[in-house]
Chain A
Amino acid sequence: MKILKKRKWFQSFSALLFNPNIPLFFKGAVYKGQTKGICVPILNCYSCPAALGACPIGALQNSLANLRFNLSLGLNQFGLYIIGSLSVVGSLIGRLPCGWLCPFGLIQELLYKIPSPKLKIPGYFRYFRYGVLVVFVILMPLILVDSAGLGQTWFCKLICPAGTLEAGIPLLAANPALRSQVGLLFAWKFIVLAAFFIWMVLSLRPFCRTTCPLGTILGFFNKVSLFQMHVDGDKCTQCGLCTQACPVGLEPHETPNSPDCIRCLKCIDTCTYGALDISFLKKYPVNRPKKIRI
């Protein structure tokens, strides 16, 4: 498929599409249009000056952080709009936005192109992101609240390197008044970003594979989304080309719809036997690869 060769262009176009207000980078202010109320299916900080929409992970944390306060005011806002926005995307295409739309994914792929020794990420590191989602995105905003019942967006505050890169650094660069407020928290966030940058040069997409809570949520839908990947067992020779090509260290011919799969579709492009395929909203015969016994 020709489109698979143009994924980088797709990612670059998406980065511009979701961040079109470039002049605001120089003004040190954020875009304030109505589209900011729409949750985008990518990790794109809504405090980024150019951002067109809202980061669903930031919005979800805010919703959970304000839950007790809202209930005390009689407001029945449980974050259903945000959960629904995430699950609409998930039920349609699963983690496809990770591989094709996310600007932070593109940054990671570009940094990996810098020549350096390359490191494999141990498989068990992937479970860390489930902990990040549960602890920093759900439990901490919900439980750690002040006397008024208001919590904080702990993942954004302590971890998210996308926020530091897309919002913190540009706002500080363009707005001198903010620089006086920089303290230990920003130093910590800068260290986290720098550490991830180094890791991104050494390993492919380490943030997506070990930390990203948005990818974790969308990954839950990979097995049940309308967009599915398939292996034709009659064509698959188990040559391992797809495994070598997989940027997140999976075996696509064994688990084509793994929750860890970012659906970059490189495996389909690499398979010379045409054993891997995609479908959307149509039945596909289940024909698992046969184990070759020697």
Chain B
Amino acid sequence: MKRKLSLLLFFLSVILIIIGLNTGEFIAVLEKAVTVCLSCIGIG
């Protein structure tokens, strides 16, 4: 039962990733990560 739940969770997570990729979230993460967020690290 626990194994089935784990596998179900895993496949649901993969579906979430695919939906996120389709809505352009990878680009949003990438754009944020390649610029230094000064206020995030306590500068500025």
Residues on A lying within 8 angstroms of B by beta carbon are: 29-32, 34, 36-37, 39, 45-47, 51, 53-54, 58-59, 62-63, 66, 75-88, 90-92, 152-153, 156-157, 163-164, 167-168, 171-172, 178, 181-183, 185-186, 188-190, 221, 224-226, 228, 281, 283
**Nearest 5 CB-CB pairs, A to B?**
A81-B20, A84-B16, A37-B30, A189-B42, A84-B17
B40:A157 contact, CB within 8 angstroms: yes
> Which residues on B are within 8 Å of A, measured CB to CB?
2-3, 5-7, 9-10, 12-21, 23-30, 32-44
For B28, list chain A residues within 8 Å (CB).
62-63, 66, 77
Contact A81 B16 (CB under 8 A): yes
Q: A75-B24, A189-B41 are in contact. List 5 more A-B contacts (CB 8 A).
A: A58-B37, A77-B25, A84-B13, A86-B13, A164-B41
Residues on A with C-beta less than 8 A from B27 are: 37
Q: Please judge, given known A-B contacts A34-B30, A91-B13, A225-B6, whether A77 and B24 are in contact too, CB under 8 Å.
A: yes
Q: How far is the CA of A30 from the CA of B26 in the complex (A)?
A: 18
Residues of A within 8 A of B9 (CB): 87, 90-91, 221, 224
The complex places the Cα of A8 from the Cα of B7 at a distance, in Å, of 30
Number of A-B contacts (CB under 8 A): 157
How far does the alpha carbon of A283 sit from the alpha carbon of B4 in the complex, in Å?
11
Are A164 and B42 closer than 8 Å at their CB atoms?
yes
CB-nearest residue of chain B to A92: B10
Whether A171 contacts B33 in the complex (CB less than 8 A), given A224-B5, A224-B6, comes out as no
Q: Is A168 touching B42 in the complex (CB atoms < 8 A)?
A: yes
Cβ of A188 and Cβ of B17 under 8 Å apart? no
Given contacts A46-B32, A225-B6, contact A88 B14 (CB under 8 A): yes
Find the B residue at minimum CB distance from A31: B34
List, in ascending order, chain B residues with CB within 8 A of A186's CB: 42-43
B29 touches A39 (CB 8 A): yes
Given the complex, which residues of A lie within 8 Å of B44, measured CB to CB? 181, 183, 185
